[in-house]
Chain A
Amino acid sequence: MGKYFQQEIECMPHEKIRELQNEKLLKQVRHVWNDVPYYRAKMQEKGLTPDDIKSLNDLHKLPFLTKDDLRKAYPYGLMGKPLKDCVRIQSTSGTTGQRVVAFYTLHDIHIWEEMCARAIVAAGGSNESVVQVSYGYGLFTGGPGLNGGSHLLGSLTIPTSSGNTDRQIMFIKDLSATILCCTPSYAAFIGERMKEMGLTPDDIPLKAGIFGAEAWSEEMRRDIEATMGIKAYDIYGLTELCGPGVSFECEDQHGMHINEDYFIAEIIDPKTGEVLPEGSLGELVFTTLDKEAFPLLRYRTRDITSLSHEPCPCGRTHVRMSRLKGRTDDMLIIRGVNVFPSQIETVLINQGYPANYQIIVDRVNNTDTLDVRVEMTPEMFTDNLGEVNKRQAELVDGLKSMLGLKAKVTLVAPKTIVRSEGKAVRVIDNRKI
């Protein structure tokens, strides 16, 4: 099997992709107008009909959809097909507010799995790969998405789901899994356990990892790669759009290719809603092009990134989005300063601490406090109180220069910060506002 799952589409010249998008957009807008009264009303409010959308150039005229719309329309209000045509739902954990329930027809499932198959091939996979899916199965899209992509590709799929880490490692070893799919925080946990068991990269058959569903730092990537002796690929997606696979990294590990035959991506200024030129950092907005049951036009993701059409050495022509700095939902505002957990992670890993940390925010005497709890490791510990104090002070300094504000650092005993088998809970915000 070659470098691509669908070379013709994945390496299609940019102009041709635009033509394809043009054609699909007009169809999708018409589908939404006809079948989704909620969005039709939004268009009518702006005095728009499908005839006003003649090409991609008119996309900016369409109204945005937000998470708030999803909440208002819950559960059936944004459906584009009757329930009898749907075969599946998936749902978010609901940790950042209202639970999202997305519907799929068989066609929707198929294109989603196709995108996941592209991601697996981009990570070096083929029908000879053994793909262990350690994302949770069930309502969460991680497990079902990669499972489907792996099937479509013809890889042997090990559906371990998340949890029971020792058994995960046993399957990786005994069945010679070559590709591991899970959240980056769970990958780090599995890696930590492998180290404890005395396994070196030579003992671990894995060649690649496809890790997504949460923001992670470049430093964490290098850490996991070194521990397992693999190449680690980022993958991105949202339940609202399908799940993982909306975009994925190739061997270049420099941004994630967005499947442009299925989505149009835009970057907007989150404050004004204005579309920003290529390369600008802003909020990512998606328009689905080929969805039946849950078509979304100009859906605001709240994710902050930038787009690039720079030619990629891998040969794929689809636009790349840069590594997520974090969801705007994850962003903390502390004493007026924007703080992303991934920035704190970068400082910790650079100074030799593990990626097991917890951020506790509180408000004392009307001032926000930031407490970073990090586990002590044998490598960082000495019998000398002054030396340990010095390292702690270095961490405080490192955080200060990264974040521009003073954080308290608390060193805690190993294994006291709960390990995550899915999405890690990094932040505890005790502020009562």
Chain B
Amino acid sequence: MSVKQISVFLENRPGCLNEMTQALADAKIDLRGLSLAETSDFGIVRLIVDDVLGTATVLKDSGFVASLTDVLAVEVPNVPGGLNKVLCILNKTGVNIEYMYAILGNKRSETAYMIFRVNDNEKSSAALEGEGIRILNQAALSEI
């Protein structure tokens, strides 16, 4: 079970990120999560949204290069050690985490949400769900 993340290529120059957010704002796209990775030359913005297809179309029409990746949206207990518990499970399964970031929008205070980009989605999901950790699909993600 996974959700779609949209990655966008950005040049490393002033105003570039704003051009993208402007295009998304004009199209009334609601951002649920975002992370930015950069080198001295360029950056990659990773987005979590409800309307994946609509967002991808807006980005393409606005001249951005974007790609879709399957990532895991994991519900993390909002208590000290909550994230650690998740990572321990993943560690035991031997999957590699390429990157992860927290996302917005939890209305329920007892949980937090993290996006995981791992090298094996199925194995990770099975291990986490086996330990009672909830993984969100696209529909569930829209509900939080």
Is the Cβ of B67 less than 8 Å from the Cβ of A381?
A: yes
* Stretch in contact with the other chain, from A212-220, A322-330, A408-416: A408-416
Interface flags, A374-385, vs B, CB<8A=1, else 0: 001110011111
CB-contact partner of B5 in A376, A383, A388, A389, under 8 A: A383
Inter-chain contact B65/A388, CB cutoff 8 Å: no
| A383-B11 CB under 8 A given contacts A413-B64, A414-B65 | no
Would you list which residues of chain A between 372 and 400 have a CB under 8 Å from chain B? 376-378, 381-385, 388-389, 392
Chain B positions within 8 Å of A415 at CB level: 63
A381 in contact with B39 (CB, 8 Å): no
0/1 per residue, B22-56, Cβ < 8 Å to A?
00000000000000011101101010000000000
Q: Is the CB of A389 within 8 A of B69?
A: no
Number of interface residues of B (CB under 8 A): 21
Mark out the residues of chain A between 388 and 433 whose CB falls within 8 Å of any chain B CB in the assembled complex.
388-389, 392, 410-416
Q: Which residue of A lies closest to B68 (CB)?
A: A383
Given the known interface contacts A413-B64, A415-B63, the answer about A385 and B39 at a Cβ–Cβ threshold of 8 Å is yes
Across the interface, do B98 and A384 meet the contact criterion of CB distance under 8 Å? Answer: yes
Q: Do A376 and B98 have beta carbons less than 8 Å apart?
A: no
Docked CA distance A392–B37 (Å): 16
Q: Specify which of B16, B41, B65, B98 is in contact with A392 (CB 8 Å cutoff).
A: B41
What residues of A have a CB within 8 angstroms of the CB of B98 in the complex? Answer: 384
Instruction: Tell which of B7, B11, B41 touches A413, judged by Cβ atoms closer than 8 Å.
Output: B11
Cβ contact within 8 Å between B41 and A410:
yes
The answer to whether B10 touches A382 (Cβ under 8 A) is no
Cα–Cα, bound, A388→B10 (Å): 12
Using Cβ atoms and an 8 Å threshold, which residues of chain B touch A416?
Answer: 11
Bound Cα distance A412, B12 (Å): 9
Q: Which residues of B sit under 8 angstroms from A389, Cβ to Cβ? A: 39
Q: How large is the interface on A (under 10, 10 to 19, 20 to 34, 35 or more residues)?
A: 10 to 19
CB pair A382–B7 under 8 Å, yes or no, is yes
With a cutoff of 8 Å between Cβ atoms, the chain B residues found around residue A392 in the complex are 41
Say yes or no: B117 contacts A388, CB within 8 Å. Answer: no
Closest chain A CB from B20 CB (angstroms) = 10
Chain A neighbourhood of B42, CB < 8 A: 376, 388, 411
Q: Contacts of A384 on B, CB cut-off 8 Å?
A: 98
For chain A, what secondary structure do more than half of its interface residues adopt (helix, strand, loop), or is it mixed? loop
Asked if B37 contacts A376 (CB within 8 A), the reply is no
Contact A413 B9 (CB under 8 A): yes
Given the contacts A382-B67, A414-B63, A414-B65, A376 and B39 also touching, CB distance less than 8 Å: no
Cβ contact within 8 Å between B39 and A378: no
- Interchain CB contact under 8 A, A383 and B65: no
Q: Are B44 and A388 in contact (CB under 8 A)?
A: yes
Across the interface, do A383 and B69 meet the contact criterion of CB distance under 8 Å? Answer: yes
Taking the closest CB of chain B, its distance from the CB of A409, in whole angstroms, is: 8
In the docked arrangement, what's the CA distance between A385 and B12, Å? 13
Are the C-beta atoms of A378 and B65 separated by less than 8 Å? yes
Among residues 54 to 102 in chain B, which have CB atoms less than 8 Å away from a CB atom of chain A? 63-67, 69, 98
- Do A381 and B117 touch across chains, with their CB atoms under 8 A apart? no
Q: Is the CB of B65 within 8 A of A377?
A: yes
Say whether A413 contacts B63, CB under 8 Å: yes
A285 and B37 alpha carbons, distance in the complex (Å) = 55
Minimum C-beta distance from B85 to chain A (A): 26
B138 shortest CB reach to chain A, Å: 17
The docked-state distance in angstroms from the alpha carbon of A389 to that of B44 is: 11
Set A378, A381, A382, A412: member contacting B11, Cβ < 8 A: A412
Say how far B118's CB is from chain A's closest CB, in angstroms. Answer: 12
A-B residue pairs in contact (CB < 8 Å), sample of 6: A376-B9, A383-B7, A388-B9, A389-B39, A413-B9, A416-B11
Q: A376-B42, A385-B37, A392-B41 are in contact. List 7 more A-B contacts (CB 8 A).
A: A378-B65, A382-B69, A383-B117, A388-B44, A413-B65, A414-B63, A415-B63
Using a CB–CB cutoff of 8 Å, the interface residues on chain B facing chain A are: 5, 7, 9-11, 16, 37-39, 41-42, 44, 46, 63-67, 69, 98, 117
The 3 A-B pairs with the shortest beta carbon distances in the complex, nearest first, are A383-B7, A383-B69, A385-B37
